[in-house]
Each structure stands twice: as C-alpha cells, then as structure tokens.
Structure 1
C-alpha cells in the first residue's frame, strides 16, 4: 500500500514536471493559483459553516474535532488549508482590483477557518511563511519606494490579523458558553500550548523511539511503511488496549526508521535541494523575473515541510497532491534560464517511461483497490471486535481479499477470521489460521489472546495459562489480556500469580 502510494506520488510529480517543462511560467501560474484559491475558499466555507451549525449542539472540543471535511481529521484539514495560502497571496499580488479583492477575502476566510481548527503545527507554518514573505519582500525591494514594500505585506498580514482577532473572539464566546473547559480554546491559548509541557507529549516519545530504532538499524530499516509494527516494542509500555501509533509524527524520522539512514537523508535531501534551488534562483540576476514565483512555491513547500516535521502528510492524498504540484512549480523556472536544459522530444526513452509508468500506476490501482475492499470489510468486523461477532463466517471469509494481511490497527486479518471460526466451534480451523499468521505481527500477541479462548473452550487449562500469560506479560496494559491472565491463574488456583498480575497491571493502569 505504501509503495503504491509512493509510486503514484512520483508519477504525478513527473507528469506535472513534463507538462510544465519549458512552458512560460507567466502563462499558467496565475490560473493555477486561482484554481487553488477557489478550492481554499470552498474548504474554508465548509469548515466555518460546519462550525457554526454544530455550535448549538456540540461542546467546543467535539465541534472542532468534527471539522475534517473530506480529510482524515481536523489537523489534515488545517494543513491542506495552509499550504494553499501562498497561492491566494499570488492572486492578490498579480490581479487587478476585483481579483485582488477576492484574493484578500479568500485569505481572510482561509485564516479564520485555520484559527478555528486550533491546530498548532499550522500556526508554526503560518508564522514561517509570513517571515519568508516579509524577508524576501524587504530584501528584494529595499531600494524601492516604501509603498512597494508596505502594500504587499499589508495584503497578506491584514486579512490574517483580522481573521485572528475574529476567530479568537468567536472561540472565546464558545468557551464561555459551555460549563466545562475542554482541551481546545482561544487561538491565543492554543499558541501558548505550543511551548507548554512539551516534554510530556507523546510526540517527543515517538521521536525518541524512532531515533533509537535508527541507531540500532542504521542501514536496513523495518521496511517502507512498517513503522507501526516497529514502534510497538517502544510504545506498549505507554499505550492501553492494543493501541498502536501508526506514525512517528515526523516523516523524516519515520523514513529513516523504515529505510535506514540513507533513505531518511534522501527524503530530507529533497527539501534541502528545493531550498538550494530557491536560493540560487533568488540570487541570480538573470532569474529576477521569477523571484515571486519561486517565493510563493517555496512558501507552500515550507508549509509541507513543517507538517512533515510534526505530522505525517505522506499518508494524506490532499497533501501529496499539493507537494507534487508545488515541487513542479518550484523547479519549472530553472529550465527557463538561458542555456539550461534541452527541449524534450518523444523518443524511445519517453516511450519506455510511458510503459513503465503505465505498469506501475496500473499495479498501484490494483493494490489500492484491494486495500479499499479490505477496509470496507474491516469497518464491520472491527465494529464487532469488543462484542460477540454476529456476521456469518462465510461472509467474512469471502469478503477479505488476499492482501493486506493486517488491519489498519495492525490486527492480523487471519486472526480476525479465526474469531468467527472459534465462534462456530471450528477450533482446528481457527488454530490453523493463527499459526499461519503468527509472523505477520509478532508484537501484538493478539493470536495468543484468541488461542486462550479456544483452549478455554476445549478445557485445556495448561494451554490457557500459557497463552494468557504470554499475551499479558508482553502487553500488560491491555484490559482484555489482564482479564484472561486473571482467569487462567484463578482456574489454576495460583494466588501468587494472581497477585503478580494484579500488581503489574495496576502499576501501569490505576
């Protein structure tokens, strides 16, 4: 799945690069920026409308968390808004009165929605792009009359400032209208939280775990996309009930953990290359006409970089699409400089690219379709994970495709099917599925949990105790594993073991 996503992202970028190669950047940059600004306006209005509608029926925390649009959560929504801000700014700077006014309104509504979403990482990103734009404007126009410096800055800063105070007022009223204080509040409170209690945050713990894994596996990592498995030995001391952190909340550390130091540096090198290229285009006199284009693209890339440093945008289609487009736009001016590059002609190399690309994209589509089928089944099967399963065995068996072999939460697909085999008293079939999938995720010990139930039904108390203890002592924060271990010790009348299990469980969960 991760490789399929990577292949798709790569070919989207190369196709963008080919489409923009040697084209006059002035002919397409503004139309693209207008299109992106329209998407920003639509998404912003959707966030504001939903927030206003939910304000009457939801507490503030619940309301903010629900503002995800078509994204996975509100943090992704916020990041996908922010990365479009530079293009709305370009519309303001390169349009006449009507376009300029509309661009300012888009920036206001986008900023208002961003502040309502209360996402700290985007506040950091917004501050950085403000600094980049202000510094570049002052540097390149220092010898110009002051209005040429003041007006561009005003077009960007004023709508954001008005949105800041407006959103802060709205959020303050929302906090005062509810009886309890939740985790979210005013914009100023959220900004203060950026530096508060950072040592206690799970994000720092995940970074430390990732760096430790890289230090122990510097050349060959856990495999692309496997961090959610490699993180379990680190996180099982802190997370309850088989919760697995899917990501390291830092794409650079996660890339190094997955691919080794070389892979991590290669990913980081992409952004270093983009920065050096931007610097080169800023400083070259014969690239003076491209400075604003480069600045806008670099600002958008900075938004992605901040998100990648604090979250995991490689998993988000909306962010990957903007990354490929932004990279294509950033590199485009390079080939418009004198004596740079040769005109591409359709030859055997281009044909080979087309064939390879078609094969890889076709494979990616097939893999993504299989994963989508699995996700549809997981939605129902996981809904029964904490209750007695109701779905028919045949329905579950036939619905799951051959891959993936793990659920989104890293539970083993064959183990999930084994639950239904166990329910129908097909003990041998259930145990066979568990044996076949033991190596798919050896850290979770969910197979041992199912085995405990199977052997309890078969009245094999020694096996019950063996697998119940194996599961619990490898993940002692799990309530289900704890109950099984207590049950097994009780059946064996082992009071010392009961006390040991009880004390260990309560040490971590009181």
Structure 2
C-alpha cells in the first residue's frame, strides 16, 4: 500500500463545498454557546472545538481520497507547521520546570486543540479558496447576530439601569468586554471584502452587519479593538485604491466603507453623553486620547510586563512552566495589587510565553507572526494572481487584529479568537500555488496524518471534558460564596470527592483544596481544614488567604499566639490587603504590641494613601492603650497626608472630646469646678451636640449650686438622642425645685419616672402631692 500513487488529476481537493461551509459555520457558532454552568465560557468552547476537530478528523479519515495530495508535502515543508509544532513541544517540556504541572496539562490541552484546528482548516481550505466569498457571507451572518443581539440587550436593559452599567454589560457570551470587542473586530476584515465584492441584497446585509459590529465595538470603548479597527480600515482602503484606478467608482466604494462607521461613531457618542462616567465612556475620541503611559490601565499593563520580564530574567531558559504565570506572578505583585487582586496574565501573550516557557520559545512564537506578516505582504505586493492577493490582504488584516490583541491582551486562551488564529495560519498555507511532484506523494502519508489528528482530538476532547468539569465545580463554589457565607449547598467532603485532576486552581488562582478547607472551617471540622490548607499551600502559598484562615482557626481554638503569627504572615504576604491589615493590627492590639501596629501601618500606608490606613491603625492603637497625646499626634500626621479628611477629623475630635470630658469628670469628682468646666468647654467647642458632655457640664453647675446655668445644659442635653435612663430629667426637676418652679419640677420628675429612674417616685411623693 505504501507504493500507491495517484495521477495528476487526483492532486486537487474534491471535498464537497458544503462540508467546508458547514464546518466554518459550526466554528462560528462558538460565539452563541450559552454558559449555563461553567465558571469560564472558554472551557466549554474548547471542549466544543475539540469535538469538532474529532468529528472532522473522522470524516477526513473515512474520505481520505477526497483530500488534496498536495496537503501533506505542503504541511511537511511549511515553516509555520514546523515552527508551531516545535513551539508546542517546548511548551510541553516546560512541565519539567513547572511547580504546578496541573496548569501545564490544562494549557497544553488548549494549545493542541488549536493546533489540530489549524491542520484541519488547512486540509479543508487547500484548493478551496474559491469559496472565500461564501465564507465571508457566513462570517457576516455571525457578526450580524453577535453584535445585533448585544445591541438589542443593551437597548433593553438601559431602560432599567444606568447607561454606564448597561455599557459595561456589553460582553456577549465572552464574559469580558475586551474579548467581546476583539471577537467582533477580527470579523470586520471579512465584512470589508464582502462590501466591496457583493452587490444588491447581500451587500446591503453586510453593510448592516458592518454598522452593527462597528457600533458595538465603539460602545465597548475597548481601546485595542478601536485602534485595530482604524488600522484595518486604513490598510484595506489603501489596498483597494492601489489595485483599482482612483476614480469616482472606487472613491464611492471607499466612502461606503466609511459612512457606516461615521454613523456608528455619532450614535456611540450620543450614548456616552447620557453616561455620567468621566473616564471610559466620555466619547470614542476620548478613549483614543487615553492611549498613553499615564493612564491607569496602561500603567497596570506596564507593571505586568515588567513583572513578566523579571520572571523571565530569573528563569530564562525554560521559564516557570506553561500556565504557571497565574500563580508564580503573585509574589511579584504584592506591592502593586490591592486586596485579593491578581493579574492572572501579563496582558501580552508574547511576554507570557517568555515568562512561562523561556526566551527561545518566545522568539519562536514571535517568529511565526513575523513570517506570516512578511509572506503575506510579499503576496499582496508581488503576486500577479488577484485571488492570492485578496486572501493575503484578508490574512494581513486578521493578523493585525490578532497581533494587536496579543500584544495588549490575552487571546491565546480565548477560543473565539483562536479560531481566527488557526484561520490565519491555515490561509497562509492554503494560499499557495506551489505544486509538488506527484511521484513523491503517497496516500499512506495522508492516512498517517489523519489518524494522528483523530487520536489527538480524542485525547484533547477527554482532557477538555475534565477541565470543563473542574469549571463547573468552580462555578458551584462561587455560587456558595463560602468566603462570606456560613454554609453553602456543597460541603467540604463533596469538594474532596469531586476534586479535579486538573486544573487544581480556580481561574482566580486559589486552590480547590483551599476552598475545601474553608468549607470545613464553616463546618467546625478544623483538623480537616488544616489538612486541606496543607495541600493548598503547596499549590499556591502566595495569596495569604491560607494563613488568614489558619489565623481564624487558631482564634476559634483560643490559641491567640498562633492566631497572631498567622495574621502577620498573611499581612506580610499581601501588605496591600486591607482585610489582612485590619486583622493583623487587631491581633497586635490584643497583644498590646503598639510597635507592630506602627510597623504594619508604615508598610500599608506607604502603598495605599487612604483614610483607612490611619483610621484602622489609630483605632487599634487606642485599643492597645497607646498614649493619648501620641495618638493625637499620630492622627495629625494622617491629616497632613490626607488634609481635611472628614473621617480622620471626626476620629481626632472624638479622641479629644473623650479626653477633655474625662479630665473634666476627674476634676469634678475632686470638686475643682473651674478646672472641670474649663476641660468640658474645650470638648464643647469640638462637639456642641455631645449629650454626655452637655450633661456633664450641667452636673458641674449643679454641684456648684448654679442651678439656673445647670438647667440650661440639662435641657439642651435631652434635645438629642442617647439619654434614656431618666437621670437627666431627674436633675432638671431638681433644678426647677431649687429655683422654686414646682410645676416644671413635677413635670420632669414624672418624665423621669416614665423612664423608670428609681429616685423619681420618691421625689414625686415628697414634693408633688
């Protein structure tokens, strides 16, 4: 069988057109798969892609005679295939350096799914690029419904919630506004070709789809997609004018491309005007003006990029392991990220590959983009075949969108983007007129390739299903919100029984064992909780959460010394975490450790210039019996850093009022009425509505037998809430009695009695018969 050869006529692919078009349509359905149970839509999407790979692989194997015999030598001699295959092999080898092999298996599964999809598309599209405009129309249908459904939902929910909130909900089924914008933008090159090719109803339909897509992208305010949109419009207009004589007809066709975007821009800005947001949703033009290094989002990206480079410098050859950036980046972010926020990825696929798999693999991955860029530019500029030029310009525009998104975001593990990455690779391979010698082509080579593809697709489908099940468990745990709730639908034992093989962490990097431990804490099973935390700390020891929950367990057990140690460990792992800061300083206060409170304050306030940094510390210093004079000086330092902060001012005033009131009461007990009054009046200047202070001044005058003055303060005191025991009314009655106003005296004795003050009844019997 190895010697079976074909004649020249068998070289061309005779796969039925409908198979190609149905497969493309099925791929585009990925944007409409509902996320009914999983925590991340990408997991079910990868499973869907892998099953499609398996199905088309079976079809190819059973109908191998329909496949172009040119495809095997084309793939064998393609730098794209060899480069991508070598890239995957190095990614796989990173398992030997990875601390978390679970994440390597997860990510390599997803990358192999994309690789298989690329090969399947290459086989499908070889000698089938005459179907390009039918494919374009299918993509246009997908873009129309994807953008149309989101715009319709926006118009509906904007009636009931704010425009700003409605805009932030423009995520489609991607779960992320930037991913949604990118998934639409990458379809626009197809629409541009369709508009200039078709006429009549088809052209009008694609124009409408283009308008909807452009409007949706503008409304998202996603800067990378906005920039990519402008670039591909400019590239295509330049290309179109280059290949067509610049005349009225070509000018009108170019104008047709621009007018829908102008209308979309106008409508977007009108919508933004109704939003009260002064940052993202001011205008489309404003979003472009924010593309600079001083913008908060840009600063964050630069920080993430810097961390990725630091990780790479520490692990230059093989990196830290594919997928492991999600965990191993956390220590690098302890001084830049607040609370429990982690970056999860560096918002740059090239740097992520650099950090995770080493510099050689990063250069290899980058070279794929460079190679595709140059080969398609060459075809656009030098090919005399207009069909080859058309496919090449489409591939270039797709590369611009995907490459731009890869530089600023993370499309590598987003199936809605990976479909088009596979298509970029496949179009570059299929768009070649090179014909190989038929004597070197054997059918058995095709069978071998197809059998490998089928086996790989079966394995990745099984693996993707495991990942999908883990995602479902993650979603159930998230719904339980066991971090704050005392009980959930699940139990600790159920989590252990359903513990995923991989991935072993949430999308947010926490271990499944960590959550099992939290469930056991809620169930008061502390030994099981500690056992789970021990396993979790080997997976992700960087977040401080495990230490925090160990502190909770120690407090529950009454072991305050251990609780103090664990609270400090949590804080020093994440010194920008407000929750950890509060608990650590509270434990320090319990231990009267004012030095530790001041130390933790210096660290936290050095990172976060917020009133809480001072309020929390001052409160705990007060609990630890910190010297009042020093405490006021401490608060004054906070007011210098955050001038006129109302919370800090109130805190300082409360301290001073309590201090002066206490001094006054001490002097009053010593019958030093003048000094007592002096202290009370200092407090009164700060808070003239403090009922206890007003009562204390009244007592000062009462005991110095100045009943008229005392009466005024007592009467002021009862105007405000807080004095409910009837004592003040009793003193008012006594004051009236001493100034010979028996009627009012009896009135207030009765009020005092109504509040169950013990002495009121006796006074009523004596003086109010």
Shift of the 96–218 alpha-carbon distance from structure 1 to 2, 3 Å rule, reads same
Distance 2:440 2:160 in 1: 59
**CA shift for structure 1 position 498:** 2.4
Distance 2:514 2:340 in 1: 14
1:399 aligned partner: 498
Aligned counterpart in structure 1 of residue 363 of structure 2, from 257, 265, 270: 265
Shift of the 148–408 alpha-carbon distance from structure 1 to 2, 3 Å rule, reads same
2:400 aligned partner: 302
Distance 1:40 1:266 in 2: 33
1:370 aligned partner: 466
Aligned counterpart in structure 2 of residue 123 of structure 1, from 200, 206, 226: 226
Deviates most, 292-301 or 363-372: 363-372
Aligned counterpart in structure 1 of residue 282 of structure 2, from 173, 185, 194: 185
Maintained 8 Å contact 2:182/2:225: yes
Deviations 1:387-446 (A, max 9, x none): 334343333333333332211111121121112223333333222222223221122232
Say if 2:129 is the partner of 1:25: yes
Deviations 1:2-32 (A, max 9, x none): 11110100000100001112x1422x10111
1:278 aligned partner: 376
Maintained 8 Å contact 1:313/1:319: yes
1:234 aligned partner: 332
Distance 1:235 1:296 in 2: 40
Residue 437 of structure 1 aligns to a residue whose secondary structure is helix
1:5 aligned partner: 110
1:328 aligned partner: 426
Distance 2:421 2:219 in 1: 24
Distance 2:234 2:138 in 1: 25
Residue 220 of structure 1 aligns to a residue whose secondary structure is coil
Deviations 1:106-128 (A, max 9, x none): 21222122212211111110111
Q: TM-score, normalised by structure 1?
A: 0.91
Aligned counterpart in structure 1 of residue 170 of structure 2, from 61, 67, 79: 67
Residue 358 of structure 2 aligns to a residue whose secondary structure is helix
Aligned counterpart in structure 2 of residue 217 of structure 1, from 315, 318, 338: 315
Unmatched segments (≥5 aa) in structure 1? none
Aligned counterpart in structure 2 of residue 85 of structure 1, from 180, 188, 194: 188
1:56 aligned partner: 159
Deviations 1:34-81 (A, max 9, x none): 000000111121122122112222223211110111112121111111
2:417 aligned partner: 319
Say if 2:291 is the partner of 1:194: yes
Deviates most, 33-42 or 379-388: 379-388
Deviations 1:121-169 (A, max 9, x none): 111101111221122233334xx35246424422322222232223223
Shift of the 214–401 alpha-carbon distance from structure 1 to 2, 3 Å rule, reads closer
Distance 1:14 1:282 in 2: 24
Shift of the 412–224 alpha-carbon distance from structure 1 to 2, 3 Å rule, reads same
Distance 2:164 2:218 in 1: 14
Say if 2:476 is the partner of 1:380: yes
Aligned counterpart in structure 1 of residue 531 of structure 2, from 420, 425, 432: 432
Aligned counterpart in structure 2 of residue 38 of structure 1, from 130, 141, 146: 141
Shift of the 285–183 alpha-carbon distance from structure 1 to 2, 3 Å rule, reads closer
Q: TM-score, normalised by structure 2?
A: 0.62
Say if 2:567 is the partner of 1:471: no
1:168 aligned partner: 269
Shift of the 430–341 alpha-carbon distance from structure 1 to 2, 3 Å rule, reads farther
Aligned counterpart in structure 1 of residue 446 of structure 2, from 350, 370, 373: 350
Map 1:457-468 to 2 at 5 A: 457-468=556-567
Shift of the 344–205 alpha-carbon distance from structure 1 to 2, 3 Å rule, reads farther
Residue 477 of structure 1 aligns to a residue whose secondary structure is coil
**CA shift for structure 1 position 342:** 5.9
Size of the aligned set, in residue pairs, is: 500
Shift of the 331–355 alpha-carbon distance from structure 1 to 2, 3 Å rule, reads closer
Distance 1:457 1:346 in 2: 73
**CA shift for structure 1 position 311:** 0.6
Please report the RMSD computed on the Cα atoms of aligned residues, expressed in angstroms. Answer: 2.3
Shift of the 145–495 alpha-carbon distance from structure 1 to 2, 3 Å rule, reads closer
Deviations 1:238-258 (A, max 9, x none): 212221111111111111111
Deviations 1:279-299 (A, max 9, x none): 221233443442122112211
Distance 2:454 2:208 in 1: 42
Say if 2:518 is the partner of 1:414: no
Shift of the 363–486 alpha-carbon distance from structure 1 to 2, 3 Å rule, reads farther
Shift of the 92–343 alpha-carbon distance from structure 1 to 2, 3 Å rule, reads farther
Deviations 1:447-477 (A, max 9, x none): 2222222222333333222222122112112
Distance 2:530 2:508 in 1: 22
Maintained 8 Å contact 1:476/1:482: yes
The structure, 1 or 2, with the larger RCO (C-alpha pairs under 8 Å, 6+ apart) is: 1
Deviates most, 395-404 or 87-96: 395-404
Distance 2:269 2:442 in 1: 56
**CA shift for structure 1 position 185:** 2.3
Aligned counterpart in structure 2 of residue 244 of structure 1, from 335, 342, 346: 342
Distance 2:437 2:156 in 1: 54
Shift of the 490–169 alpha-carbon distance from structure 1 to 2, 3 Å rule, reads closer
